[in-house]
């Protein structure tokens, strides 16, 4: 059966990509567990395509204790580096090492702000930013807000959180809605 929905062009015709686009990307996410997973996956995505990460998402979940930051924060160096042998994930030593570091920083943010959700949504005034881009090429790689978020995360001990990664996180977690204006997911088309 042919799907006639108009989607953002970046998801193409790949079923996994379309499902992610249709059900997750741009939806406001407020669960700390889900925000942590997105933060880690966006860090792994740096320099790669998102579909590369999406196809390995379940393997990442299995490798990193279902992204349980309490567990990961207490991993030993040996547990962390054992993932370098895991052929099902992206085996980048610095990115793998950042998982434990980021889990520790995540918990500190929760202690300081009550939740990571409270912390990150403050950057957009607790309301998603709705953009009106005509085509995918119009979307920025980063914004002033993603630069501020990046600086704050780095100051709080996070790694692999540059402005571009932060903007991708903001898009994925729905802090910004960057569905193009012709996409069925853009609020003007609902």
Helix H or strand E encompassing 2: none
20 an active-site residue? Answer: yes
Check if 78 is active-site: no
DSSP-derived 3-state class of residue 176 = strand
Query: Of 25, 29, 42, 75, which one is the catalytic site residue?
Result: 42
How many CB atoms lie under 10 A from the CB of residue 72? 23
Distance CA 190, CA 179 (A): 12
DSSP conformation class of 82: H
Q: How many CA atoms lie within 13 A of 26 on its CB side?
A: 20
**Catalytic status, residue 144:** no
Rg (CA), the chain: 17
Paired residues of 129 in beta bridges: 176
Catalytic residues: 20, 42, 50
């Amino acid at each position: 059966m042919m799907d006639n929905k108009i989607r953002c062009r970046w998801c193409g015709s790949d079923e996994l990509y379309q499902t992610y686009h249709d059900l997750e990307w741009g939806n406001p996410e407020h669960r700390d567990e889900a925000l942590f997973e997105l933060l880690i996956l966006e860090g792994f995505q740096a320099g790669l395509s998102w579909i590369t990460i999406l196809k390995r998402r379940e393997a990442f979940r299995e490798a990193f204790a279902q992204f349980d930051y309490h567990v990961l924060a207490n991993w030993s160096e040996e547990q962390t580096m054992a993932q370098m042998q895991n052929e099902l994930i992206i085996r980048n030593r610095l990115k793998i090492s950042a998982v434990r570091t980021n889990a520790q920083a995540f918990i500190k943010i929760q202690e300081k702000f009550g939740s990571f959700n409270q912390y990150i949504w403050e950057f957009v005034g607790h309301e998603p930013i709705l953009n009106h881009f005509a085509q995918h090429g119009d979307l920025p790689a980063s914004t002033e807000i993603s630069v501020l978020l990046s600086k704050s995360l780095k100051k709080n001990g996070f790694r692999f959180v540059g402005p571009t990664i932060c903007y991708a996180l903001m898009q994925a977690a729905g802090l910004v809605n960057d569905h193009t204006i012709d996409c069925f997911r853009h609020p003007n088309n609902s």
